[in-house]
Structure 1
């Protein structure tokens, strides 16, 4: 690599880790300081690495980069001066990719384990990145089995860890990022409680998460919290509050910069209007949601909690809105579209969409098909406890079933399975 050639390999690793030049400089300095050396790397230093002006960093800097990315300097695109024979070192495990959470499936608990032994004097970008990686693990666990108390406890423990690191933060920027991580973990705990229908705890967590998001000045975290407030208000049958919370999500600054978040906020508002029986306003909000999602870029880096949202989830929300305003045939079609594209690993979401499909079929009088479809929701959750939100929706299906067909044999059969699955969970 000559002095004018860009270091594409380093740039690719930075992009994958979501690091800016300043953030990489902070991360390297944090590593050097923890090792007892002076951290003198600046964003200009990183720029020299990227442009090729610096082809072979100082040995300590190479060691720091190797520890951060889990690569040798050569694998990061650097090359020693001609004629110099440098032994190839074995990189440490990449600290940017270590997970701090050991999560198991079934009914066993998820438990946090120590991320690292933090330097008592400074907490930098490296530590922030290490802590944030655990959110992805929690979201994967949620996708598989839904909200549960072990997930909630793990999220709260990690939030406390982020806040405990505040006193050792290297800068105000690091402190804000720690607040942001604490907000995300607390919002994850709230979401777990919402999915498990533990209403009181969910409210407490959301109040705390909103405060932390404000301290972090993080509009994405704020939108996440308002989105969850809307869902919680719906569980409490406070439908006007649900609309107000969804509209607060629309007002978050991130909706003006990223149409995907704008779409999510409008979709949540549409559900609120539909539940209140405001057909035209619900359809208008739903139209805004579809229009915004068409404008959203697919490959923009976003936090893992919003990975559930896209065309499949919007189709599932469309099914909810359509069914609540009496368009059951349109709701059935939307449910089929959702199920055709919801990723297989989203067990809970597929089970919810399947139950929505069964409700749309039931509301059209197709009793046998509705019962068969609703039974498939249990199959999607095979091996996992049924989370409270799904239990409640299946309960709604059963109540509508015995109202529409109280004497049908298939209704009694489905009721037997419903009680069996309920007791299993």
Structure 2
């Protein structure tokens, strides 16, 4: 028995859980005067492949909800119901209509009553490209070609709006465009192109609102908090983090709530509010403990888990004056962050070195931070990481200006910085 992976993908991309899809199908049936008899078990049977051909009315409901045929959703009729007559060729049908009516339809415009030219399969295809961009970001970090690619895919999604999609598909296309635009904004932030990132985030927030997509809104507010942090606009960072907490996505899903609380903690630490920062960290830990790790998540938040929370905890603790505890948190982060998240590991390593330096262990700190360069070998160091290395360099000069290790590190830093620009 083969599972219906196509239906599972379509549900994920349109935001349906099993209960929600059952309710939507029942609402469709009741609106047409039929009894709504679809339950969780029915949907589970569809997904498991136990039911390969739903009842006719259920098929009609599914086709309306997903804006595609049930065959495109991975269903197939029993062998005895399949027709041996080949489907009519579109060109033959057009010639037949022309012969009967004596007219020729323009090939560039759809005729009145034509089915939508854009459906769920287009949404799935467009969204699938996000994973490729996220993989590049994990390994290499933000850069202009990644940003351009994301904006191009966002534009492609918006262009589909003109091809007669249903309202549900139009909303999903706005959501895809919002995701790609947010990805472009994140790439600009990571590359330290902060002014450009601000303009892109404005666009992403607009698209998320047009999509009525709380997950996309959560993503954008999370990025606003990061951007404000890097612009030293700490009060704005806290406001953006609270906006992320207030989204429906964060209220419903503990994973999103945890990330929003962690961003709030960083903002309060930047403001010097130790008590509020530690309280927010506690909320982040509590929410993450409640998160269902078996639930599928959007690719943009796949980075977040115990390791990344420890990395953010290190930032907070170092900022509020606990470098020893920050060092411990950084070690825990590096023990958990996957190896393919090279940029994240480079940032966590630099934070570890800063925590060691702030304990006045310059030799160990320089040994730690030197491992960042081979970690990012093969690509230019992203702007955010390069900026953090600059912070380490300045702190090293301030704490141990005349030591041999400071001079040696300074030479290495200048050499690597010029090589990786």
Alpha-carbon distance in 1 for matches of 2:409, 2:278: 33
Contact 2:53–2:78 (Cα < 8 Å) also in 1 = no
1:130 to 125, 130, 137: 125
1:142 corresponds to which residue? 137
1:34 corresponds to which residue? none
Task: Compute the displacement of 1:10 (Å).
Answer: 3.8
1:9 corresponds to which residue? 2
2:329 to 328, 334, 338: 334
2:375 to 374, 380, 399: 380
Alpha-carbon distance in 1 for matches of 2:154, 2:267: 30
Contact 2:7–2:73 (Cα < 8 Å) also in 1 = no
Contact 1:56–1:79 (Cα < 8 Å) also in 2 = no
Contact 1:56–1:81 (Cα < 8 Å) also in 2 = no
Contact 1:56–1:80 (Cα < 8 Å) also in 2 = no
Task: Compute the displacement of 1:380 (Å).
Answer: 1.1
Residues 1:264 and 2:259 are matched in the alignment = yes
1:205 to 177, 200, 204: 200
Task: Compute the displacement of 1:80 (Å).
Answer: 3.2
Pairing 1:138-287 to 2, within 5 Å after superposition: 138-287=133-282
1:289 corresponds to which residue? 284
1:261-281 per-residue CA deviation (whole Å, 9 max, x = no partner) reads 000000000000001100000
TM-score by length of 2: 0.79
Task: Compute the displacement of 1:299 (Å).
Answer: 1.2
Q: What RMSD in Å do the two structures reach over aligned CA positions?
A: 3.0
Which consecutive residues of structure 1, in runs of 5 or more, have no partner in the other structure? Answer: 1-7, 24-42, 87-117
SS for the counterpart of 2:293 is coil
2:303 corresponds to which residue? 308
Alpha-carbon distance in 2 for matches of 1:133, 1:176: 17
Contact 1:124–1:169 (Cα < 8 Å) also in 2 = no
**Number of residue pairs matched?**
358
Task: Compute the displacement of 1:419 (Å).
Answer: 0.8
1:36 corresponds to which residue? none
Pairing 1:19-30 to 2, within 5 Å after superposition: 19=12
Contact 2:214–2:248 (Cα < 8 Å) also in 1 = yes
1:319-346 per-residue CA deviation (whole Å, 9 max, x = no partner) reads 0000000000000000000000100000
Pairing 1:45-64 to 2, within 5 Å after superposition: 52=51, 54=53
Alpha-carbon distance in 2 for matches of 1:53, 1:202: 47
Alpha-carbon distance in 1 for matches of 2:384, 2:298: 23
TM-score by length of 1: 0.78
Structure 1 residues 147, 54: closer, same or farther in 2, change over 3 A?
closer
Alpha-carbon distance in 2 for matches of 1:16, 1:217: 20
2:318 corresponds to which residue? 323
Which consecutive residues of structure 2, in runs of 5 or more, have no partner in the other structure? Answer: 22-36, 64-68, 85-107, 111-115
Alpha-carbon distance in 2 for matches of 1:319, 1:248: 23
Larger radius of gyration: 2
